Amino acid sequence: MRKTECLAMILAGGQGSRLGALTKKIAKPAVPFGGKYRIIDFPLSNCANSGITKVGVLTQYKPLELHNYLATGAAWDLDVRDGGVFILPPYAREKGADWYRGTADAIYQNLNFIELADPEYVLILSGDHIYTMDYAWMLNAHKENKADATIGVIEVPWEEAPRFGIMNTDEDGRIESFEEKPKEPKSNKASMGIYIFTKDFLKKYLEEDAVLEDSEHDFGKNIIPKMLNDGARMFSYAFEGYWKDVGTIESLWQANMDLLQEETPFDLQGKWKIYSSNPSMPPHFVGADASIKKSMISEGSMIEGEVTNSVIFPGVRVGKGAKVTNAVVMPMTQIGAGATVDYAIVAQDCIIKDNVTVKGEPGAIKVVPEGETVA
Amino acid sequence: MKNVLGLVNIQEDNSLIRELTASRAVELVPFAGRYRLVDFTLSSMVNSGIGHVGVMLPDRPRSVLDHVRSGKEWDLSRRHEGLFYLPSVKVERESREGDLKNFYANADFFEHSDKKYVLITSGSFIYNIDFNALMDFHIEKDADITMMYHVEKGENTGKNAVLEVNGDGRAEDIAEKTVVYDGSKMSLGVYLMEKRVFVEIIRNAYEHGGNDLLVDGIIKNAGKYKIYAMEHNEYVAHVESMNAYYKSSMDLLRYDVWASLFMGKNPIYTKVKDEVPVQYKEESEVKNALIANGCIVHGSVENSILFRGVKVGKGVKIKNSVIMENCDLKDGALIENVICDKNVVVSKDKWLKGAPNYPLIVTKNVTI
C-alpha cells in the first residue's frame, strides 16, 4: 500500500442551529447550495483537486442523509485504492460511548483511524464554507516552514474582524498570538478553520487535552492557544479568493446570490470543477411563456413562469405565471401557477400551491422548511 | 431479467446522417442536450434488470469506448458480468458488410454465456422501455423470437424494418423499407430470443453467405421460427437520417415527450461531466427550450436545444436549432434552423440560416 502523506478530516457533525429550519432534518454540510451542490462538495472537491484522496468525514448531528450522499466517495473521484471517503460517527468502546464533545474531541476519538492511515500530516477542515483552495500549496508551506501547525487565514474587512478568530503574525507568517472574536483586533487575518498539523504533534496535544475536565475540547478555544503558549512552530497560510461562511440563513442566501452577479465573485466555472453527486436528469425544460433572467437553473427543472435573480436546483417546477425572484429553490420543489416567491429560501420537496405568496425581505429571508406544503 | 444477456448492436451505418458521423458511429451521435443515442437502450436494459451487457464495437471504436468506458455510469462496472465489448474481428479475405460477421465472430462467447436468453437492441433508437413486459409477452406467446414495434404517426424516411402483425401479435411479414408511412408498425430493432436460437441463427445465416442480422437472420427465417411482436406505445424515434435527427430533437421540446422519456421512474444515464447549472444573465430571453448544464446564456434562445457548455453571447438569437457541446456563439450572431456539431465557434455578428425543413449542418470544430 502506498503511504498516505496527508489525511484530511472534515468536521461535519455540527448542528448548524443558525440555519434554523434548513437543518431540521439534515446536517449543515448536507444543505444544498449553488443550484446543484451541497456545502460539503466544496471541501471534498478541494481535497480531490489537491490530490488528497483519503478523507474522514466526522458526522454526528442528523447524519443519515449526509451518509447517504457521501456513499463510496465516487462522486468526488475519491473511491480509489489507497483512499476513499470514510464516514466517522461516534462509536461505542468497552467503557460505553461518548458523543463528540467538541471539534478537538471528535478528532481525538478518531485517533485510531488516523493511526490506521498513518499519515505524516493531518489536514482538518470544516464542512460549512464555500471556497476553492489548493491544499497542496498549504501543505508545501507547512513543510518548508518545518511547522508543527499551519492555519489557513484570510484577510477580512477590519470592521468584521471582531466576528472571527484573529491571528497576529510576524512578517514571516509565524503566529505570535491568537484572539477569539477580539473587540479591538490587532490584525485582520481571520482563521478559516483550516489546519494542517504534523500528526505526532497533533496527537500529543489531543491526548493531553482529552483528560482536562475544564476543557471544551475545541481547536479554537483550547488546542491552538495551548500550542501557542508552548511556543510551537505555528504559521499562518494566507488565502486570497472567495471564502464564505454559510452558517446563517442570510449568509447562505447571500452566497447563492453572489453566484448571479454579472462579474461573479466566485466562479463555479473556474479552473477546478466542483464535483457533486449528479442526479440522472435531462437538461431543464423552458416553457413557451417562461422568462428567465439573472438566474442559475439546473437539470430536470421545468420552468413555465418568471424566474429572476434566483437559484433553481434540479427537478424544480415553476408553474405558469408564477414569479420567483431573489429566491433559492432547492431540489424537487414545486411552485404552483401564479404563485409568488420573493426573498426566500424554499427547501427541498416543498409544494407551494397555486397563487400562494411566500415573501421575505432583504435582511429577513423567508424560509420554507424541507417537505412543507404552503397553501 | 437476470437470465438475459443484453447485446447492443452498433452498426456504424451512417450513409443517411453523414455530417454528424464523420468522427463517430451513428449510435454515438449526441442527442437531447447531454446524451448519446446509445444511452437510451443501455439505460433501458439496465433499468430492466439486465446486468450483463455486450456492446458491439465498430471498426473505428473510439467514440464508443470514450463514451461508455467501464460502464460505470450505467452501473455496469461490476466484479462479475457487467459490461463487455464485442470487438469487430477482421477475418482474412472477408469483404462482407453488415453486422452479422461481428456476431458470428463472437458466437463462441455467446455460447459460453450461462444466460438462457439474449436481448439484442439497436443503439440508434430513442426510447425508455422496461423490457420485463417484453419477457412476459415472449413467454406468454411461447415465441421463438419476439420483436417490438411502434405505430408511426406521419411519414418517416430512413432505413426501417416494418412489420405486419396479426391480432395475436404474430409477425406475419417483416420488410425493410426506406420510407415509413403513417400507421406503419416500425420495428424498434429489439429481438428477444433464447440464446440457443440466436447462436443457431447467426451460425446458419453467416455460413450461408449472409450479411445482416435482420435480413439474413430474421427475415429469411420468418417461416422457420415463431416470431411475435409487441407494441410499445410511448415515445420512440429512430435516428436514421438527418431529417429524423432534427425532427426527433424538436419533438423533445414538447413537454409530454421530455417528461415521458426522462422524468418517469427509470432515468436515462450518461457520462457525467460535473457541469455548473445554467447561468442566465441580465438580458437573456428563453422560450421553449432545453438547456443543459454548463451553458452561459446572454442572448435569446427559442425552440432550441443547447448541449452542455454552450456559450450564448450578448444579442445572439438562436431559433429552431440544435447546438452541441461547447459551441461558442459570439455576440450578435443569428442562428436559425441550424444543427451545430461540437466545438463550433460562430464569430461576432455572423448569420447562419437553414430552411425550416432542411436544417443547415455545421460540422465539428469549425469556426465561422
Closest Cα of chain A to B270: distance in Å?
Answer: 8
Average pLDDT on B40-56 reads 95
User: Cβ contact (<8 Å) for B262 and A281?
Assistant: yes
- Is the pLDDT assigned to residue B91 strictly greater than 80? no
Q: Does A40 touch chain B (CB under 8 A)?
A: no
Q: Residues A312, A333: contact at Cβ < 8 Å?
A: no
> Which of A242-251, B14-23, B197-206, B289-298 is predicted least confidently?
B14-23
**Whole-number mean pLDDT of chain B?**
91
Q: What pLDDT sits at residue B222?
A: 87
Q: Kindly tell me if the per-residue pLDDT of B348 is higher than 80.
A: yes
Q: What is the pLDDT of residue B282?
A: 92
Contact map slice: A 144-163 vs B, CB within 8 A: none
Which residues from chain A sit within 8 angstroms of residue B277, using beta carbons? 34-36, 296-299, 311-313
Contact partners, residue A242, CB within 8 Å, separation at least 6:
A130, A131, A132, A258, A265, A266
CA-based nearest distance B48→chain A, Å: 16
Q: Do A293 and B294 touch (CB under 8 A)?
A: no
Give the residue numbers in B contacting A (CB under 8 Å), as ranges: 32-35, 72, 255, 258-259, 261-263, 267-270, 272, 274, 276-294, 296, 301, 305-307
Judge: A296–B33 Cβ closer than 8 Å, yes or no.
Answer: no
**CB-count burial class (<10 Å; 0-12, 13-18, 19+) for A228:** middle
Which is more confidently placed, A125 or A264? A125
Sorting pLDDT into bands at 50, 70 and 90, what band is B13?
A: low
Take residue B166 and report the three cell numbers written for it: 396479426
Which residues are CB-contacts of A68 (< 8 A; sequence separation ≥ 6)? none
CA R_g for chain B: 21
| pTM: predicted TM-score of the whole model, two decimal places | 0.92
**Cell triple for residue A277?**
453527486
Does residue B3 surpass a pLDDT of 60?
Answer: yes
Task: Please report where in the chains the cell 429550519 appears, as a residue.
Answer: A21
Number of A/B CB contacts below 8 angstroms equals 112
E-strand ranges in B24-132 read 30-31, 35-36, 52-56, 82-86, 117-122, 125-126
Distant-in-sequence, close-in-space partners of B152: CB < 8 Å, separation ≥ 6: B180, B181, B182, B183, B184, B185, B186
Query: What spatial distance separates the first Cα and last Cα of chain A, rounded to whole Å?
Result: 58
Chain B residues touching residue A49 (CB < 8 angstroms): none
Partners of B35 on chain A (C-beta within 8 Å) are 282
Interface test with B, best of A264, A272, A292 (most B CBs within 10 A): A292
| Angstroms from A148 CA to nearest CA on chain B | 37
What's the confidence (pLDDT) of residue B200?
Answer: 94
Residues B51-79 have pLDDT tens digits of 999 999 988 889 899 999 999 999 999 98
pLDDT digits 0-9 by tens, A25-41:
899 999 999 999 999 99
The H or E element spanning position B205 is helix B195-207
Average pLDDT, chain A: 93
At B15 the pLDDT is 65
Q: State the complex-level ipTM.
A: 0.91
The pLDDT tens digits for A55-97 are 999 999 999 999 999 999 999 999 998 899 999 999 988 888 8
A chain contacts of residue B319, beta-carbon cutoff 8 Å: none
| Per-residue H/E/C for B261-322 | HHCCCCCCCCCCCCCCCEEECCCCEEEEEEECCCCEECCEEEEEEECCCCEECCCCEEECCE
- Shortest Cα distance from A34 to chain B (angstroms)? 8
Residues of B in contact with A286 (CB under 8 A): 286-291, 301
Average pLDDT over residues A317-323: 96
Q: How far is A285 from chain B (nearest CA, A)?
A: 5
SS3 category, A305: coil
Sequence-separated (6 or more) residues with CB below 8 Å from residue A358: A339, A340, A341, A342, A344, A346, A352, A366, A368, A374
Segment (H or E) for B245: helix B242-251
Partner-chain residue, chosen from A294, A299, A302, that has the shortest CB–CB distance to B293: A299
A86 pairs with which residues across the strands? A56
**Partner-chain contact B278 A281, CB within 8 Å:** no
Residues B81-100: what's their mean pLDDT? 81
Task: Compare B336 and B1 and report the one with higher pLDDT.
Answer: B336
At residue B97, the pLDDT reads 79
Question: Is A291's Cβ below 8 Å from some Cβ in B?
Answer: yes
Residues 6+ apart with CB under 8 A from A24: A369, A370
Pick from B274, B287, B306: CB nearest A288: B287
Percent of chain A whose predicted confidence (pLDDT) is above 70: 99
d(C-alpha A362, C-alpha A342), whole Å: 10
Buried b vs exposed e over A252-269: b needs ≥16 C-beta within 10 Å? bbebbbebbeeebebebe
Residue type, B230: M
Q: CA-nearest residue of chain A to B264?
A: A281
pLDDT at residue B242, as a whole number: 86
Give the contacts of B124 (CB within 8 A, at least 6 positions apart): B11, B26, B27, B37, B38, B189, B238, B239, B240
A292–B contact, CB cutoff 8 A? yes
Asked if B277 lies within 8 A of A298 by C-beta distance, the reply is yes
Q: What residues of chain B lie within 8 A of the CB of A296, using their CB?
A: 276-280
Q: What is the pLDDT of residue A265?
A: 82
Least confident of B125-134, B253-262, B358-367: B358-367
Q: Which residue has the cell 408511426?
A: B152
B227-231 and B156-165: which strand pairing?
unpaired
Q: Do the chains contact at B287 and A296, CB–CB below 8 Å?
A: no
User: CA dihedral in degrees (A153, A157, A161, A166; nearest 10)?
Assistant: 20
**Mean pLDDT on B102-117:** 90
Helices A135-144 and A41-50 cross at an angle (nearest 10°) of 60
pLDDT tier at B14, thresholds 50, 70, 90: low
> What does the alpha-carbon distance between residue A30 and residue A331 come to, in Å, rounded to a whole number?
13
Nearest to A123 by CA among A144, A145, A109, A140: A140
Neighbouring-strand partners of residue A199: none
Q: Do B263 and A312 touch (CB under 8 A)?
A: no
Phi, psi of A135 (to 5 degrees): -65, -20
Kind and range of the H or E run holding A70: helix A64-70
Q: What pLDDT score was predicted for residue A31?
A: 94
Give the pLDDT band (50/70/90) at residue B241: confident
Of B33, B276, B282, the CB nearest to A283: B33
Number of residues written out for chain B: 368
Q: Could you tell me what percent of chain B has a pLDDT over 70? A: 98
The secondary structure of residue B129, as a DSSP letter, is -
Contact check, Cβ <8 Å, B287/A290: yes
Strand B237-238 versus strand B156-165 pairing type: unpaired
Measured CA distances, B63 to A219, A280, B26, B37, B189 (Å): 52, 21, 10, 12, 21
A219 pLDDT tier (thresholds 50, 70, 90): very high
Say whether B286 and A311 touch across the interface (CB within 8 A). Answer: no
Tens-digit pLDDT profile for residues A146-179: 999 999 999 999 988 988 899 999 989 999 999 8
CB < 8 Å to A271, chain B: none
CA–CA separation, B122 vs B7, rounded Å?
Answer: 8
Give the pLDDT score at A1: 57
Going by C-alpha positions, the residue among B116, B129, B154, B161 that lies closest to residue B11 is: B161
Rounded CA separation B336/A252 (Å): 40
Task: Tell me which chain B residues have a C-beta less than 8 angstroms from the C-beta of A276.
Answer: 274
Q: Which residue matches cell numbers 436460437?
A: B197
Asked whether the beta carbons of residue B281 and residue A294 sit closer than 8 angstroms, the reply is yes
Secondary structure (3-state) at A66: helix
Is there a contact between A269 and B276 if contact means CB atoms under 8 Å apart?
A: yes
The DSSP output letter for A361 is B
Could you read off the pLDDT of A326-351 as tens digits, one per residue? 999 999 999 999 999 999 999 999 99
A222-281, pLDDT tens digit by residue?
999 999 999 999 999 999 999 998 988 999 999 999 999 888 788 888 778 899 988 899
Task: Count CB neighbours of B305 within 10 A.
Answer: 26
Whether residue A49 has pLDDT greater than 80: yes
What is the enclosing helix (H) or strand (E) of A297? strand A295-297
pLDDT grade, residue A216 (50/70/90)?
very high
Chain centroid offset of residue A231 CA: 31
CB B41 within 8 A of CB B8: yes
Cβ distance B321 to B334 under 8 Å? no
Copy the grid coordinates of residue B320: 429552431
> Considering only CB atoms, which chain B residues are within 8 Å of A79?
none
C-alpha to C-alpha distance for A32 and A37, rounded to whole angstroms? 6
Cα–Cα distance, A296 to A287 (Å, whole number): 16
- The residue in chain A having the minimum alpha-carbon distance to the alpha carbon of residue B291 is A283
Query: Chain A: residue nearest B262 by CA?
Result: A282
- The answer to whether the CB of A289 falls within 8 A of the CB of A300 is no
What is the DSSP track for A74-129?
Answer: GGGT---TT-EEEEE---EETTEE----SHHHHHHTTHHHHHHH--SEEEEEESSE
| Residue A257 contacts B, CB cutoff 8 Å | no
Q: Tell if the CB–CB gap between B279 and A281 is shorter than 8 Å.
A: no
pLDDT recorded at residue B198: 95
Handedness of CA B49, B51, B56, B62 (dihedral sign): positive
Best B254, B265, B278, B298 residue to mutate vs chain A (most A CBs within 10 Å): B278
